[in-house]
């Protein structure tokens, strides 16, 4: 039976070695650390993973490296979106063949102004190409990056056309009202806010968990809130994780998270990102690491606000 899609699924940062290649050993160690810190599973190959800076072969390799490193396939939710339909289908089938919990599907983001009919056709063809190997699909809604997104009418159409296949959404719209609307409109649909900024409110509205960049550095506390959002200290937990998110986001989520990982693991190689992204400057990294909330994380003792 497929595992429930609930809880915290960090979009795992991708480490690179001195040649710029994906580093499988660092990846495996980080993935294991996230699970040890309470993550339910791992949303590898997401935005924070720099997936769209990786080749198709590299993306397949990330899935394989996690499996080779002892990560259970059922703990993987790979991002498989691509502008090319065949690439999205090939990667989705590879994830399904591995036994992944599902896939996280961006819309084909290069062409703007496309219709819901066009996006429906893209998903329908992907499912057709996968055939019996089709994985569960979590729609990735991120208009700030992709510009196009999964509209409410299209989401309903996909759920109704492909029951048991299109099962959820990562909503990175940054709009709490939209997240609540999706939850209310589609009972039983697994909705994950794409940031912990308003995680508590989203959980109270019926969200099932969180998929957030800063879970790479704060998995323990974010996971605790997804599990204990009914507890009396939930508002304090929300303030604490919100302070971390604000600090990292202010300097860029991907280079910021990697700067923290470099400090936590005492491994400067973790700072590497792929162009056009750049690592934080020494001054910016020092300022970030001096933030009390971040310093506590690096020390392994997150502060509770």
Q: Which residues are catalytic?
A: 140, 170
Backbone CA torsion sign across 22, 24, 28, 30: negative
Residue with tokens 């994380």: 297
Q: Which residues, in sequence order, are CB contacts of 258 under 8 Å at separation 6+?
A: 13, 270, 271, 272, 273, 279
Helix axes 24-36, 56-68, angle to 10 degrees: 60
Gyration radius (Cα) of the chain, Å: 18
Q: Report strand pairing: 190-193 vs 166-171.
A: parallel
Exposure string over 94-123, b if 16+ CB within 10 A, otherwise e = bbbebebbbbbbbbbbeeeeeebeebeebb
Q: Which ranges in 162-276 belong to alpha helices (H)?
A: 176-185, 199-205, 215-227, 234-250, 253-264
């Amino acid at each position: 039976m497929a595992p429930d899609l609930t809880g915290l699924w960090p979009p795992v940062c991708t480490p690179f070695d001195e040649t710029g290649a994906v580093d499988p050993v660092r990846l495996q160690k980080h993935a294991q650390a996230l699970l040890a810190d309470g993550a339910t599973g791992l949303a590898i190959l997401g935005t924070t993973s720099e997936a769209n800076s990786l080749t198709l072969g590299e993306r397949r390799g990330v899935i394989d490296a996690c499996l080779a490193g002892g990560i259970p396939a059922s703990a993987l939710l790979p991002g498989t979106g691509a502008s090319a339909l065949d690439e999205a289908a090939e990667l989705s089938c590879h994830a399904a063949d591995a036994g992944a919990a599902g896939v996280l599907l961006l819309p084909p983001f290069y062409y703007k102004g496309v219709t819901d009919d066009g996006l429906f056709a893209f998903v329908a063809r992907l499912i057709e190409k996968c055939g019996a190997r089709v994985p569960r699909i979590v729609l990735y809604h991120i208009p700030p990056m992709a510009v196009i997104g999964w509209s409410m009418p299209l989401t309903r159409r996909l759920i109704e056309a492909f029951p048991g296949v299109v099962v959820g959404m990562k909503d990175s719209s940054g709009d709490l009202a939209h997240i609540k609307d999706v939850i209310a409109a589609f009972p039983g649909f697994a909705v994950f806010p794409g940031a912990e900024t308003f995680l508590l409110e989203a959980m109270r509205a019926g969200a099932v968990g969180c998929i957030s960049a800063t879970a790479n550095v704060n998995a323990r506390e974010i996971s605790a809130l997804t599990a204990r959002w009914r507890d009396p200290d939930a508002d304090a937990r929300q303030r604490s994780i919100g302070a971390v998110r604000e600090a990292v986001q202010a300097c860029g989520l991907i280079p910021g998270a990697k700067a923290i990982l470099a400090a936590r693991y005492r491994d400067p190689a973790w700072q590497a990102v792929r162009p056009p992204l750049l690592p934080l400057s020494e001054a910016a990294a020092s300022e970030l690491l001096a933030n009390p909330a971040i310093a506590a994380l690096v020390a392994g003792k997150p502060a509770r606000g």
